[in-house]
Amino acid sequence: MREDCHVCISEGFEALTRIRVSKAMYSIVASLNVINSDILLPNEIGLSDAAAKKLRVSENDTLYISHLEPIESLSHVRAKIYNQKLNYSAYKEIITDIVEGDYSNIHLSAFITACAGDRMDIDEISNLTKAMIASGKQLNWNKKIVVDKHCIGGLPGNRTTPLIVAIVAAYGLTMPKTSSRAITSPAGTADTMEVMTNVTLSSEEIKTVVEKEGGCFVWGGTAQLSPADDVLIKIEKALDIDSEGQLIASVLSKKAAAGSTHVVIDIPVGETAKVRSMEMAQKLKNHIETVGTAVGLHIKVVITDGTQPVGRGIGPSLEAFDILSVLKNEDNAPRDLKERVLLLAGELLELSGKVMKGKGAATAKQLLESGKAFEKFLAICRAQGRFTNPVLAPYKVEIKAKRSGTVQLINNRKIAKLAKLSGAPQSKSAGILLNVHLGDKVDQDQLLYTVFAESQGELHYALEYENNHNDILTLV
């Protein structure tokens, strides 16, 4: 709005005042930008596309602007900042206001930070999880057993989910998989699957796909499951943090809201993974199991090796190549990715009670190697609207060994950062293609990895980082 318009003057609105904008039954909360130019007439208001859409306005409509009523739930956020324990109703009020869009980024960032770093106890995490489940839609599949799987990220290229869905659905179980996009990583499962199929489906469309094929790979955002999570994840991404309490609440609220009953959770452990020590992993495992039980889920937590990236690709398209290679049983398919998939799919088959203890992995292997999993994968993709093969990015630089030696360390965080700087996940085909793994012997000038980018600018940006950090991959 214009600084000199009568509403700003009479109401004392100034830059960044939080205001309510309404039209008939629609209403949004917005941060006001004030201008002093004639782009707008006095008494005109400029809206972002998102705001205009939410308010269902068109040119020349009349809008009502008012002071924002005090956001009462912020008193709970302040209490949390001062280390107080919050109960269910406090979390419920906070999450409700967040879903309503009443919180500014400053408020959201404070809430996330106040809850990070072990500042929520197990009751609070359960309460936050329940509040997040209650904040959105909840799906019901009319099945006694609905399985799901989730990986506590931090491991570049660890794209087991689509493979597990294909195996488990091929077995005949129901696995309506909703995934998030990348939070702090170069690719989330939804980002990777979007390369090969449509992942933005409505609840109704998801239902149709799952009824037909037993499984799906979709982005959880549009399904309105735990909508608060999507808001919070954007801020966590900007902060590049992912705290234990929010993480558990995020994962389990999505699972419960999606109607899952039996869930396997994979925690990779490694010095540069998200979870850095076995001690932290055990604590997280206990917390997940306790909160899972509190919200009525059957949970099996599996702790796995997280010392290096999984497979070869890091970035949506490059990971898609790995997935297809395993599904097609290609000779050079990444063995580490396949082994991990068989372990986790096996655990999930056993947790469901349909496959005998100890027989899960072998059952999974048979489904994969017979080609039944690939068949199911393609069928699900087509049910979601398309199957598209991934492509390589147009720009690349090969990073070679400066001397001969043995690969001693691959820093998950730094290689993930490098992939992000190259443009992943926004640029689908950007990222890293690894040619070596821990323990590999390399000669001088041997290819270590390739950086792919969709623009020269992004490639340049990634290489600048690569030049300034000599510990992305360490040789001895």
Task: Provide the binding-site residues for a second copy, judged by CB under 8 A.
Answer: 10-12, 14, 33, 36, 39, 48-49, 67, 70, 74, 77-78, 81-83, 104-110, 112-114, 116-118, 235, 238-241, 243, 417, 423, 426-427, 454-458, 461, 465
| Strand segments (E) across 306-364 | 313-314
How many beta carbons lie within 10 A of that of residue 239, not counting itself? Answer: 15
CB atoms within 10 A of CB 211: 13
Q: Give CA–CA dist 304/321, Å, rounded.
A: 23
DSSP 390: -
Angle at the Cα of 323 from the Cα atoms of 261 and 226, rounded to 5 degrees: 35
CB 184 within 8 A of CB 242: yes
Establish whether 123 is a catalytic residue.
no
By three-state DSSP, how is residue 306 classified?
coil
Dihedral pair phi/psi, residue 80, rounded to 5°: -70, -40
- Backbone torsions φ then ψ of 406, nearest 5 degrees: -115, 140
The residue among 229 and 454 lying less far from a second copy, judged by its C-beta, is 454
CB of 398 to a second copy, least distance (A): 22
191: Cβ contacts below 8 Å, ≥ 6 apart? 181, 182, 316, 424, 425, 428
Contact (Cβ atoms closer than 8 angstroms) between residue 270 and residue 306: yes
DSSP string, 42-109: TT-----HHHHHHHT--TT---EEEEPPP-TTHHHHHHHHTT----HHHHHHHHHHHHHT---HHHHH
Amino acid at site 144: K
Segments of 378-426 assigned E as strands: 395-400, 405-410
Alpha-carbon distance 304 to 283, whole Å?
Answer: 15
Q: Give residue 48's Cα distance to chain centre.
A: 26
Element (H, E) at 304: strand 298-305
Structure-block tokens of residue 170: 């091929």
Helix (H) or strand (E) holding 10: helix 6-11
Instruction: Please list the active-site residues.
Output: 242
